[in-house]
């Protein structure tokens, strides 16, 4: 076994590999970019080497710098994680040439499966069923359109060298083909350095099912069952689970044996995943093989009691597989949710910023190699901590939340509970969306396909609701506690009425109105008493741009909502206060919650929900924001990859004007209404800052 390895990656996978290495007594070397100098993966390893500036092309994708770091530190092997150089055959060969072990498959297997086109040709020769399509080398746009016309729409365009949902477009008609092809090729060349694409028939309501395979250098190859990864957005996975629901044993065996045959056909060694697309009738087709560990590998570990990273290390060191096919069995059910810094209500647009507060459910990072029948119920694989930043340079994943249950029903319940306990302040996340998704009828009943999110859009993307009285009461309690703490820190004494933080009055109680807002405006009335506060609610009204009539209808159904039906003049006690955790009594109800203040916004976590309430301090004087509706701005830092409008051009509402690339995805800036382009402020290739005006626009 190795005594020291270098981990050629960052984030949660680097932390994950380091954890297994530590358990096995193997020393680890981290590599990091200038942006990651204080990252968690650097702190998780025994040594760390700076390899370049923040952009991945100048750091994590520089194989020669990584190999130099391995030789400098005396590492015997390099673990590539996933992404970056994990499926780069040239890098694998360079490691071997430098006398280092590449902890992954041989370069020949990568090349065979690295090109989707070549892999499909290989599978076709091996009689593995394939989706109808064109997988050849001819890339002339007219020729490709002719192939798409022959296949029949809708057609899926995919980057031949791609993965992770990058370089994929669904084309619904011949009229859309050329534009979609150009966009697909731009994203492919940017992400993979190769703009070759293939075209396939886009199946209706397919499931995405993948098989975990493992092979050693002694001729052994097996499969560790399947994962269902059907729930996706932008062709990227959102939820994964193992085993796949409603999977008959005979189909499981057939898919597993097909996956092993595919691995053997290319002389595979190490961990790999063979991905299939399956119809609702159970028929399945080879899609691709990922020649690396997958992001969703923890669900396989949870149901099999295996540590797949340990298997990787042992196989790379020349040892045989730790188990045989007959020794593997499925125990229980596991689900993984990817916690992302992104805004589901804005097309899952990535969010950047600092994790000012991060609260998570009680968990064990991994519980592997022991009793597979009783793993830890909750596991979190993370690469960030509170105080860390989500930058525009890398994937915006915060963590992977994995739960295990004796059956799918228990796993679903544990996932919903764990998501209720996940708290993030500082940037927008998909936590609330994930909870709605897990609790949706479609997912709970295992009515799965890759279009589940789009099919259930109205259920998953709900209209704004007014905050309940309990959330507003907790916000008030936090403000009162803060004021009292400030008074104490300034040396004001409880017996001194003139400097009391509770607004002492001689003949009558001090009455106070507090104003908050989110999508609605709220007024809360407080009357100070010796033993607490009298608390009553004003009416919530819709703010500009919100649907106040819809909100009123929802509030009428909830007696605890923020309107006149809420309990008025109830005595509010702060019965416990530790840090930012509160327990209050509101009438006959005891309410628990966490309140975190971020500038003038109070983040209230209670009842499994997150409320962001802006506090309007009457003593503060906010300057008026300047509005410039004549300029279209960048949604985040990124690079301009296409300018589709010119100065003086008349455009229609919704017409694409500029295409940006940021956070590994393309974002289209469209005209907000009919108008004229007065000036184009950036050219193709320019880097732009968050909020930078891209065009001057006149209605």
Question: At 333, phi and psi to the nearest 5?
Answer: -140, 140
Contact status, residue 474 vs residue 589, Cβ threshold 8 Å: no
User: What's the rounded Cα separation, in Å, for the pair 107 and 141?
Assistant: 31
- How is residue 233 written in tokens? 């957005």
Contact partners, residue 240, CB within 8 Å, separation at least 6:
227, 228, 229, 231, 296, 299, 335, 336
Note the pLDDT of residue 193: 86
Give CA 396 to chain center in angstroms.
6
Q: Can you give the pLDDT at residue 544?
A: 45
276 vs 158, 254, 288, CA distance in Å?
A: 15, 12, 7
Backbone dihedral angles phi then psi of residue 634, each to the nearest 5 degrees: -75, 130
- What domains appear along the chain, each with residue ranges and CATH number? 4-103 (3.40.50.20), 132-201 (3.30.1490.20), 207-460 (3.30.470.20), 469-615 (3.30.700), 631-698 (2.40.50.100)
- Answer yes or no: is pLDDT of 36 > 50: yes
Tell me phi and psi for residue 257, to 5 degrees: -65, -35
pLDDT for position 286? 92
In this prediction, residue 649 carries a pLDDT of 92
Q: Is 585 a catalytic residue?
A: no
The lowest-confidence range among 98-102, 158-162, 325-329, 539-543 is 539-543
Confidence of residue 483 (pLDDT cuts 50, 70, 90): confident
| Overall average pLDDT of the 315-332 stretch | 97
Instruction: Judge whether residue 621 has pLDDT over 60.
Output: no
CA nearest 229: which of 251, 208, 202?
Answer: 208
Least confident range from 47-61, 116-130, 484-498: namely 484-498
* pLDDT > 90 fraction of the chain, expressed in percent and rounded: 60
Output the pLDDT for position 556. 37
Mean pLDDT of 292-307: 96
pLDDT at 384: 95
Pairing relationship of beta strands 532-537 and 570-578 according to DSSP bridges: antiparallel
Q: What is residue 103's predicted lDDT score, i.e. its pLDDT?
A: 98
Q: Is the pLDDT of residue 10 over 50?
A: yes
User: Which pLDDT value is given to residue 566?
Assistant: 43
Residue 468 above 70 pLDDT?
yes
570 vs 447, higher pLDDT: 447
Alpha-carbon gap, residue 302 to 335, rounded angstroms = 9
491 class by beta-carbon count within 10 Å (0-12 exposed, 13-18 middle, 19+ buried): exposed
Catalytic member of 292, 338, 379, 597: 292
The CA-atom distances, in angstroms, between 666 and each of 341, 346, 511, 631, 642 are: 17, 14, 53, 20, 10
Give Cα 368 to chain centroid, integer Å. Answer: 24
**Of 10-24, 482-496, 634-648, where does mean pLDDT reach its minimum?**
482-496
| pLDDT band (50, 70, 90) for residue 140 | very high
- The one-character DSSP state at 267 is T
Decide if pLDDT at 489 tops 50.
Answer: yes
Number of Cβ within 10 Å of residue 624's Cβ equals 5
d(CA 361, CA 402): 11
From 281-285, 445-449, 665-669, the region with the lowest mean pLDDT: 665-669
Residue 620 above 70 pLDDT? Answer: no
Please list the residues that pair with 456 across neighbouring strands. none
> Residue 273: pLDDT above 90?
yes
Classify each residue of 524-539 as buried b or exposed e, where b means 16 or more C-beta atoms within 10 Å of its C-beta.
bbbbbeeebbbbbbbb
pLDDT at 666: 76
**pLDDT-based confidence at 124, cuts 50/70/90?**
confident
pLDDT at 115: 78
Average of per-residue pLDDT across 282-295: 92
Question: Residue 661: pLDDT band by 50, 70, 90 thresholds?
Answer: confident
| Candidate from 27-41, 538-552, 651-665 with smallest mean pLDDT | 538-552
Both structure tokens of 545: 């741009």
Instruction: Output the DSSP codes for 11-37.
Output: HHHHHHHHHHHHHTT-EEEEEEEGGGT
pTM: 0.80
Q: pLDDT class for 624, splitting at 50, 70, 90?
A: very low
Look at residue 172 in the predicted model and tell me its pLDDT: 94
What lies within 8 Å, CB to CB, of 86 at 6+ separation is: 9, 80, 104, 291, 292, 293
List, in sequence order, every residue forming a beta bridge with 658; answer none if it has no partner: 643, 669
Among 525, 523, 519, CA closest to 549: 519
Q: Give the torsion sign (CA, 109, 111, 115, 117).
A: negative
Summarize the confidence of residues 253-276 as an average pLDDT.
94
User: Around Cβ 43, how many Cβ atoms within 10 Å?
Assistant: 12
- State the average pLDDT over residues 569-578: 53
Judge whether 307 and 368 are in contact, CB under 8 Å: yes
pLDDT score recorded for residue 217: 97
Distance CA 206, CA 228 (A): 11
According to the model, what pLDDT value does residue 540 have?
61
Encode 427-463: b = buried (16+ Cβ within 10 Å), e = exposed.
Answer: bbbbbbbbbbbbebebbeeebbbbebbeebeeebeee
Q: Tell me how long the chain is.
A: 699
Whether residue 188 contacts residue 196, with contact meaning beta carbons closer than 8 Å, is answered with: yes
- What's the rounded Cα separation, in Å, for the pair 318 and 227? 27
CA 609, 612, 615: angle at the middle one, nearest 5? 140
C-alpha to C-alpha distance for 312 and 214, rounded to whole angstroms: 9
Which of 117, 128, 131 has the alpha carbon at shortest distance from 258? 128
What CA–CA distance (Å, rounded) separates 137 from 461? Answer: 41
Rounded to an integer, the average pLDDT of 530-546 is 64
For position 631, what pLDDT does the model report? 61
What does the pLDDT read at residue 135?
A: 84
Contact between residue 78 and residue 91 where contact means Cβ atoms under 8 Å apart: no
Q: Which pLDDT score is estimated for 63?
A: 97
User: Of 213 and 667, which is predicted with more confidence?
Assistant: 213
Model confidence at 673, pLDDT cuts 50, 70, 90, reads: confident
The enclosing H or E element of 412 equals helix 408-420
Q: Average pLDDT of the chain?
A: 87
**Taking phi first (over 0 means left), then psi (-120 to 50 degrees means alpha), and beta for anything else, what does residue 387 get?**
left
Q: How confident is the model at residue 565 (pLDDT cuts 50, 70, 90)?
A: very low
341 pLDDT more than 70 = yes
CB contact burial 337-354 (16+ within 10 A = b; e otherwise): bbbbbbbbeeebbbbbee
User: Any idea of the CA torsion for 340, 346, 352, 353, to the nearest 10 degrees?
Assistant: -100
């Amino acid at each position: 076994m190795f005594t020291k390895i270098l981990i050629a990656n960052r984030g949660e996978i680097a932390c994950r590999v380091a954890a297994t290495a530590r358990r096995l007594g193997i020393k680890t070397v981290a590599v990091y970019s200038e942006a990651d100098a204080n990252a968690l993966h650097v702190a998780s390893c025994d040594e760390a080497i700076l390899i370049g500036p923040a952009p991945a092309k100048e750091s994590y994708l520089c194989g020669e710098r990584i190999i130099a770091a391995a030789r400098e530190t005396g590492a015997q092997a390099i673990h590539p994680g996933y992404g970056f150089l994990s499926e780069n055959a040239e890098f694998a060969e360079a490691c071997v040439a430098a006398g280092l072990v590449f902890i992954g498959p041989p370069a020949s297997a990568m090349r065979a499966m690295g090109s989707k086109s070549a892999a499909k040709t290989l599978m076709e020769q091996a009689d593995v069923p394939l989706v109808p399509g064109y997988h050849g080398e001819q890339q002339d746009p007219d020729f490709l359109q002719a192939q798409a016309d022959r296949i029949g729409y809708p057609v899926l365009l995919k980057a031949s060298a791609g993965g992770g949902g990058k370089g994929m477009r669904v084309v619904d008609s011949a009229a859309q083909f050329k534009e979609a092809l150009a966009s697909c090729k731009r994203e492919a060349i940017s992400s993979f350095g190769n703009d070759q694409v293939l075209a396939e028939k886009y199946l209706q309501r397919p499931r995405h099912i993948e098989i975990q395979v493992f092979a050693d250098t002694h001729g052994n190859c097996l499969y560790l069952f399947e994962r269902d990864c059907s729930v996706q957005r932008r062709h990227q996975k959102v939820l994964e689970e193992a085993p796949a629901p409603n999977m008959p044993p005979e189909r499981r065996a057939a898919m597993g044996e097909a996956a092993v045959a595919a691995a053997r056909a290319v002389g595979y060694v190490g961990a790999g995943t063979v991905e299939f697309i399956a119809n609702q009738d159970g028929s399945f087709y080879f899609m691709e093989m990922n020649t690396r560990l997958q992001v969703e590998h923890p669900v396989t570990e949870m149901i099999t009691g295996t540590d797949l990273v340990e298997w990787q290390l042992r196989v790379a060191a020349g040892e045989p597989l730790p188990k045989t096919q007959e020794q593997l069995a499925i125990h229980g059910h596991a689900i993984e949710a990817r916690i992302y810094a992104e805004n589901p209500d804005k097309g899952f647009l990535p969010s950047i910023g600092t994790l000012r507060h991060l609260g998570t459910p009680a968990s064990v990072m991994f519980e592997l190699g022991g009793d597979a029948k009783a793993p830890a119920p909750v596991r979190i694989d993370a690469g960030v901590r509170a105080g860390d930043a989500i930058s525009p340079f890398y994937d915006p994943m915060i963590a992977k939340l994995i739960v295990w249950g004796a059956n799918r029903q228990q796993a679903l319940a544990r996932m919903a509970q764990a998501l209720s306990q996940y708290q993030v302040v500082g940037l927008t996340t998909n936590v609330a969306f994930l909870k709605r998704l897990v609790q949706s009828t479609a997912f709970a009943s295992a009515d799965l396909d890759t279009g589940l999110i789009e099919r259930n859009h109205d259920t998953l993307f709900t209209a704004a609701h007014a905050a309940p009285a309990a959330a507003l009461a907790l916000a008030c309690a936090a403000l009162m506690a803060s004021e009292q703490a400030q008074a104490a820190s300034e040396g004001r004494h409880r017996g001194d009425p003139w400097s009391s933080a509770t607004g002492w009055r001689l003949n009558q109680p001090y009455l106070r109105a507090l104003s908050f807002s989110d999508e609605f405006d709220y007024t809360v009335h407080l009357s100070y008493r010796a033993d607490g506060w009298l608390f009553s609610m004003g009416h919530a009204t819709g703010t500009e741009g919100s649907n106040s009539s819809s909100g009123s209808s929802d509030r009428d159904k909830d007696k605890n909502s923020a309107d006149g039906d809420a309990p008025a003049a109830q005595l509010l006690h702060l019965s416990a206060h530790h840090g930012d955790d509160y327990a209050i009594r509101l009438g006959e109800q005891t309410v628990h919650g966490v309140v975190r203040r971020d500038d003038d916004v109070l983040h209230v976590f209670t009842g499994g929900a997150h409320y962001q309430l802006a506090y309007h301090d009457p003593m503060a004087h906010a300057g008026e924001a300047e509005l410039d509706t004549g300029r279209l701005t960048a949604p985040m830092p990124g690079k301009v990859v296409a300018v589709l409008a010119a100065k003086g051009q008349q455009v229609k509402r919704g017409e694409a004007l500029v295409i940006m690339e940021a956070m590994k995805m393309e974002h289209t800036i469209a005209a907000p209404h009919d108008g004229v382009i007065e000036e184009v402020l950036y050219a193709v290739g320019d880097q732009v800052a968050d909020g930078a005006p891209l065009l001057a626009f006149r209605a």
